[in-house]
């Protein structure tokens, strides 16, 4: 928000410099991002009046003007198209210094020019201009322009935090200055305007919970063509708002001054009365920015008997807006529940100064005061006769008192703020305070929506008391090494992954809809009610999409070998939110070195990494398909018949879509398989020697190695310690449609040394198992 310093000092004027005031506000929690002068430096520019205009004898596009500057008339050559007799405009006298220019007496095509008539661009107060800067006809001739236009003002750009909607007005900032400095608040509440007509507008509030207060009045006989006063235009421009018309400018001015959004309807187009309600199916509304909005059932509208007139709290309708032909207006001032307005601007794709304030909360007690203030300005500028105020009030927000235990505040802050000072701070902030000894019972004012608990009051006292006044005490305490290293399954896993060259990534839980469809086949993901960005509108049900995005970004920066992982929560529904662990690898299988030829990472590299991480856990791999992975290079992890995760090479379709030139392999598993949900089984270490035997057999092509290993491990005697595949053969000597698998078998007993007879008996049992289960042909 942009705030004119001079406007602010009219309401609260502490004995501080501009920079001192900005620093005070910043340290008080209202950051001042920038301080800019209202106009660049210039001097010797005064208000002048053109007495006469004659064509230049030597130039068709130049005029010779006689200009009154409060002394003897000056002859000035001017080429501005709007130069005319009677016009009052800035005049730079001889010796004046303008931005990038010094005015000297000179002849222009043979005619002596004794100064220069100025445009807004030449003065540096505007980026564009069509001619001379036209001043009001009552501008005092000869007065320095900097004084007349108050150009020695400074504009403060403030950035209140989202919970401080009360600081989005000059009045709100003045309250802060009063609280921080103890200076006087020079504000007189608007008095009720004299009612000169009996006409009212019928107001019905159907959506009472959405609109607890709606105030309106009719003003008849206004001159909508009236000019906006220069002082009001100036304040709007310095606040970043463009003047439009007198009535609209007044509503914007009251918004800036008091923080109360307002709107003026053309009373001539209202059919019947005003109805505050939710939008109905099939309704649409063309708003003031020219867009036609298809209204949804969740939108709040201001309507008449014929249909919607405005989007409540956001923007008025084009058809009901004030125009130059407007004679009678209906002026509204309302309080809408912040939750009803919040998120609507993002949903619609446009917002407004009104919605920005309503979604943060406005002062519900100030609706009628703002209406009276706007009425006074409109009737003073445009004339008109005001009618009585219709003020419809239902259930306004409750302001529950908050208990502040001063002893608790001392413990939180680490220093003591005297009870009297704490009470005075809360009073300056507008709280109603009841002193109960070492406890203060503080009721927040109607404009503070951010005060709910004791810690909120502690924060208020700390920031107003002053962070710079916090006692400077040296930190005391011993610093030593932890008795044991950080532990926990997640920390252990992170260390193991770091040793395997993986880097941890932390990605957003909200993702693009395309990611859910591409990598999960999820056409109905959990949608966000209020997304931070339009493309991040759903919650993830997998970590793969976020990791692919990380990998794509790193690959675009010419990284040739990328290994990333993430441990995070996924969201299958509002109630089912499992934690998962996922990893991706891209590029070379191992760091490049002289003794090994470069090779791209493949499915089995990732399978090996995952098997290391799962060592000791009873998990098997089974060929299967997954939307994210290559249909012929993917598998799922099973435990007791339950799927715990997936492993594979990224589907070629997604590699092409996301611009990946090399294969990407990865896996995703439920965290429980990593965190002890499937505990490893420990076995006694034998002191007796191991016997090794080889076992070979022919199998059908559709028999997987995993199934054979699983059968051998669970069906063989206890002395079988390990069985591993060491050879796969297809060709001469093996039937078509068959394959030969050779396994290395390790046998060991914990109670005795095995004999050859023991080994042969176990091998015979294993051969019989293979024949019975897989119809294998023993070789």
pLDDT at 493: 84
Tokens representing residue 255 in the block = 């918004």
Rounded Cα gap, residues 22 and 173, in angstroms: 11
Q: Pick the residue with more confidence: 205 or 480?
A: 205
Residue 197, domain member (yes or no):
no
How many angstroms separate the first and last alpha carbons of the chain?
A: 84
Return the SS3 of 698.
strand
CB atoms within 10 A of CB 595: 4
The predicted model gives 495-522 an average pLDDT of: 92
- CATH classification of the domain holding 98: 2.40.50.140
Q: What is the pLDDT of residues 35-67, one digit of tens each?
A: 999 999 999 999 999 999 999 988 888 999 999
pLDDT of residue 681: 64
99 and 142 part of one domain: yes
Domain of 669, CATH number, reads: 3.30.930.10
Are residues 240 and 339 part of one domain?
yes
| CA–CA distance, 331 with 302 (Å, rounded to integer) | 13
Tokens of 628: 């994210």
- The last residue of a domain, from among 643, 674, 705: 674
Q: Is residue 484 part of a domain?
A: no
222 is a domain residue:
yes
> Residue 704: what pLDDT?
85
What's CA 565's distance to the chain center, in Å? Answer: 26
Residues 101, 233, single domain; the answer is no
Cα dist from 229 to 170, 232, 382, whole Å: 19, 5, 11
CB atoms closer than 10 angstroms to residue 311 = 26
Average pLDDT over residues 402-406: 94
Q: Are residues 24 and 68 in the same domain?
A: no
Is the separation of the CB atoms in 426 and 441 below 8 Å?
no
pTM: 0.68
Q: What is the mean pLDDT of residues 100-113?
A: 88
Domain CATH number, residue 706: 3.30.70.380
Q: Which of 148, 164, 189 is the last residue of a domain?
A: 148
Domain count within the chain: 6
Report d(CA 581, CA 645) in Å as an integer: 9
Query: 535 and 665 share a domain?
Result: yes
Instruction: Residue 444: give its domain's CATH number.
Output: 3.30.56.10
Average pLDDT over all residues of the chain: 90
Q: Is residue 198 part of a domain?
A: no
Same domain? For 698 and 559 the reply is no
Whether residues 211 and 342 share a domain: the answer is yes
Share of the chain above pLDDT 70, in %: 97
Pair (460, 523) in one structural domain: no
Residue pLDDT, tens place only, 150-186: 999 999 999 999 999 999 999 999 999 999 999 999 9
Residue 547 included in any domain? yes
CATH number of the structural domain spanning residue 326: 3.50.40.10
DSSP type of residue 379: H
Residue bearing tokens 């322009």: 145
Query: How far is residue 404 from each of residues 202, 239, 397, 415, 625, measured CA to CA in Å?
Result: 45, 37, 21, 15, 60
Contact indicator for 151, 47 with CB cutoff of 8 Å:
no
Q: 475 lies in a domain?
A: no
Looking at the predicted structure, is the pLDDT value of residue 486 above 60?
no
For residue 181, give the nearest of 29, 32, 21 by alpha carbon. 21
Residue 732: helix, strand or coil by DSSP? Answer: coil
**Strand, helix or coil at 539?**
strand
Q: How confident is the model at residue 707 (pLDDT cuts 50, 70, 90)?
A: confident
Pinpoint the alpha helices (H) of 414-488: 419-428, 454-465
Residues 417 and 561 in one domain: no
Domain C-terminal end among 649, 674, 699: 674
Residue among 77, 79, 81, 57 at smallest CA distance from 66: 77
Whether 219 is covered by a domain: the verdict is yes
Q: In terms of residue numbers, what domain contains 430?
A: 402-469
Choose among 388, 612, 559, 581: nearest CA to 490: 581
Answer yes or no: is 192 within a domain. Answer: no
Same domain as 96, residue 158: no
The reply to whether 630 and 530 lie within a common domain is yes
* Model pLDDT for residues 436-463, shown as the tens digit of each residue: 888 999 999 999 999 999 999 999 999 9
Q: Are residues 12 and 141 in the same domain?
A: no
């Amino acid at each position: 928000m942009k705030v004119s310093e001079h406007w602010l000092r009219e309401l609260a004027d502490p004995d501080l410099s501009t920079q001192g005031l900005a620093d005070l506000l910043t340290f008080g929690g209202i950051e001042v991002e920038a301080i800019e002068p209202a106009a660049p430096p210039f001097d010797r520019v005064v208000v002048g009046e053109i007495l006469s205009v004659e064509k230049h004898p030597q130039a068709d596009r130049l005029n010779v003007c006689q200009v009154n500057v409060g002394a003897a008339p000056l002859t000035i050559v001017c080429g501005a198209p709007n130069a005319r007799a009677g016009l009052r405009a800035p005049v730079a006298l001889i010796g004046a210094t303008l931005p990038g220019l010094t005015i000297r007496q000179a002849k222009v095509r043979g005619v002596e020019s004794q100064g220069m008539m100025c445009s807004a661009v030449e003065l540096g107060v505007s980026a564009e201009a069509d001619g001379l800067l036209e001043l009001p006809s009552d501008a005092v001739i000869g007065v320095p322009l900097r004084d007349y236009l108050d150009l020695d003002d400074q504009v403060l750009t403030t950035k209140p935090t989202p919970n401080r909607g009360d600081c989005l007005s000059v009045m709100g900032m003045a309250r802060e200055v009063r609280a921080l400095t103890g200076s006087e608040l020079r504000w007189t509440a608007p008095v009720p305007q004299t009612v000169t007509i009996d006409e009212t507008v019928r107001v019905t509030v159907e959506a009472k919970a959405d609109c607890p207060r709606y105030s309106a009045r009719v003003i008849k006989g206004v001159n909508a063509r009236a000019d906006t006063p220069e002082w009001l235009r100036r304040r709007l421009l310095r606040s970043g708002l463009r003047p439009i018309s007198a009535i609209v400018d007044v509503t914007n001015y009251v918004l800036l001054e008091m923080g109360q959004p307002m709107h003026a309807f053309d009373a001539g187009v209202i059919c019947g009365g005003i109805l505050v309600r939710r939008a109905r199916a099939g309704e649409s509304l063309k708003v003031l920015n020219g867009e036609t909005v298809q209204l949804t059932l969740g939108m709040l509208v201001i309507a008449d008997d014929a249909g919607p007139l405005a989007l409540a709290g956001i923007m008025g309708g084009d058809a009901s807006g004030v125009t130059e032909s407007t004679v009678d207006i209906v002026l509204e001032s309302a309080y809408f529940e912040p939750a009803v307005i919040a998120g609507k601007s993002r949903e619609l794709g446009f917002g407004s100064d009104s919605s920005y304030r309503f979604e943060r909360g406005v002062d519900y007690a100030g609706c009628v005061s703002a209406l009276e203030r706007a009425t006074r300005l409109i009737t003073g500028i445009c004339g008109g006769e005001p009618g009585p105020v219709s003020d419809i009030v239902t259930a306004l927000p409750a302001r529950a008192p908050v208990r502040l235990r001063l002893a608790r505040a001392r413990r939180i802050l680490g220093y003591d703020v005297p009870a009297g000072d704490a009470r005075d701070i809360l009073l300056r902030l507008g709280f109603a305070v009841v002193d109960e000894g070492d406890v203060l019972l503080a009721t927040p004012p109607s404009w503070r929506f951010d005060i709910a608990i004791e810690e909120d009051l502690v924060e208020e006292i700390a920031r107003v008391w002053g962070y710079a006044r916090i006692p400077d005490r040296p930190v005391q305490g011993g610093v030593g090494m932890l008795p044991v290293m950080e532990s926990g399954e997640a920390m252990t896993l992170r260390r193991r992954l770091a040793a395997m060259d993986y880097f941890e990534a932390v990605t957003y839980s909200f993702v693009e809809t395309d990611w859910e469809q591409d990598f999960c086949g999820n056409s109905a993901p959990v949608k966000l009610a209020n997304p931070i960005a339009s493309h991040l509108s759903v919650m993830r049900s997998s970590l793969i999409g976020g990791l692919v995005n990380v990998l794509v970004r790193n690959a675009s920066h010419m990284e040739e070998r990328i290994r990333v992982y993430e441990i995070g929560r996924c969201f299958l529904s509002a109630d089912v939110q499992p934690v998962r662990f996922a990893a991706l690898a891209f590029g070379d299988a191992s760091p490049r070195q002289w003794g090994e030829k470069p090779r791209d990472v493949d499915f089995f590299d990732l399978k090996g990494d995952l098997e290391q991480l799962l060592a000791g856990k009873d998990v098997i791999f089974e060929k299967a398909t997954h939307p994210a992975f290559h249909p012929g290079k993917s598998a799922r992890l099973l435990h007791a018949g339950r799927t715990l995760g997936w492993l594979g090479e990224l589907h070629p379709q997604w590699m092409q879509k996301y611009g990946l030139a090399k294969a990407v392999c990865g896996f995703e598993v439920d965290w429980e398989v990593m965190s002890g949900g499937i505990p490893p089984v420990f076995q006694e270490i034998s002191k007796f020697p191991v016997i090794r035997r080889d076992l070979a057999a022919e199998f059908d092509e559709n028999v997987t190695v995993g199934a054979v290993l699983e059968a051998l491990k669970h069906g063989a005697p206890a002395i079988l310690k390990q069985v591993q595949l060491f050879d796969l053969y297809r060709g001469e000597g093996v039937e078509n449609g068959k394959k030969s698998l050779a396994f290395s078998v390790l046998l060991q007993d914990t109670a005795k040394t095995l004999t050859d007879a023991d080994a042969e008996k176990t091998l015979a049992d294993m051969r019989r198992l293979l024949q019975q289960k897989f119809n294998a042909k023993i070789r």
